[in-house]
Amino acid sequence: MGQVVHTLNEGRPEGEEVVGVTSLAGEIYVLRGKERDQVEVYDVITYRLQRCLTVQNARSFTDMTSCEHCCCIYIGHIAKCIHRLDAQGAATQWPVNERPWGLSVNAQHNLLVTCREARKIKEFTTDGHMVRTVSLPGDVINPWHTVQVRSGQFIVCHGSRTAGDAVCRVCMISADGRHIVHSHGGQPGSDTGQYDLPVRLAVDNDEFVFVVDINNGRVTLLSPTLRYVRQVVSSDQLKWRPRRVYLDTHKRFLYVGDNELKGGKWTAGRVVVFSV
Residue 236 identity:
D
Q: What is the pLDDT of residues 77-105, one digit of tens each?
A: 999 999 999 877 788 999 999 999 999 99
Instruction: Kindly indicate whether the domain formed by 3-275 is annotated with CATH number 2.130.10.10.
Output: no
Is 247 strand, coil or helix? strand
Is 128 strand, coil or helix? coil
Segment (H or E) for 270: strand 265-275
Q: What is the pLDDT of residues 103-142, one digit of tens each?
A: 999 999 999 999 999 999 999 999 999 999 999 999 999 9
Instruction: Assess contact for 233 and 212: CB atoms under 8 A.
Output: no
The 3-state secondary structure of 37-75, one letter per residue: CCEEEEECCCCCEEEEECCCCCCCEEEEEEECCCCEEEE
Whether the per-residue pLDDT at 43 is higher than 80: the answer is: yes
Q: What is the pLDDT of residue 57?
A: 75
Residue 6 identity:
H
Q: What is the pLDDT of residue 231?
A: 96
pLDDT band at residue 14 under the 50/70/90 scheme: confident
Q: Which residue from 31, 3, 34 is spatially nearest to 19, judged by alpha carbons?
A: 31
Q: What is the pLDDT of residues 207-258, one digit of tens each?
A: 999 999 999 999 999 999 999 999 999 999 999 999 999 999 999 999 999 9
Write down the domain spans for the chain. Answer: 3-275
Instruction: Assess contact for 86 and 75: CB atoms under 8 A.
Output: no
